[in-house]
């Protein structure tokens, strides 16, 4: 029920965005997202609303920490 999934914004019109993931399209409202997203951003979508923009830099940072912590070569 709390399922919230990352989807990519393909179009924004006012308070509504068109989002897409793996060919599934949807319309979501932007009333409660805290940073205004732009087309191409990934947002976490729950029950018809975008909750948050996914922070790519933080994501990459987490991955880097994983890899470093494990003594792996960072190859991307």
- Judged by CB under 8 A, does residue 38 bind another protein? no
What number of helices (H) and strands (E) belong to the chain? Answer: 1, 5
- Judged by CB under 8 A, does residue 18 bind another protein? no
Structure tokens at 21: 């993931």
- Judged by CB under 8 A, does residue 34 bind another protein? yes
In terms of phi and psi (left: phi > 0; alpha: psi -120 to 50; beta: otherwise), the region of 49 is beta
Q: What are the residues binding another protein (CB under 8 A)?
A: 1-4, 6, 29, 31-34, 42, 44, 46-49, 51-52, 54-56, 58-63, 66-67, 70, 72, 76
């Amino acid at each position: 029920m709390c399922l919230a999934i990352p989807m990519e914004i393909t179009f924004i019109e006012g308070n509504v965005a068109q989002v897409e993931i793996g060919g599934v399209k949807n319309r979501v409202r932007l009333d409660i997202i805290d940073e205004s997203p732009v087309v191409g951003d990934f947002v976490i979508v729950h029950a018809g609303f975008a909750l948050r923009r996914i922070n790519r830099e933080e994501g990459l940072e987490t991955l880097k920490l994983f890899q470093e912590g494990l003594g792996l070569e960072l190859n991307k």
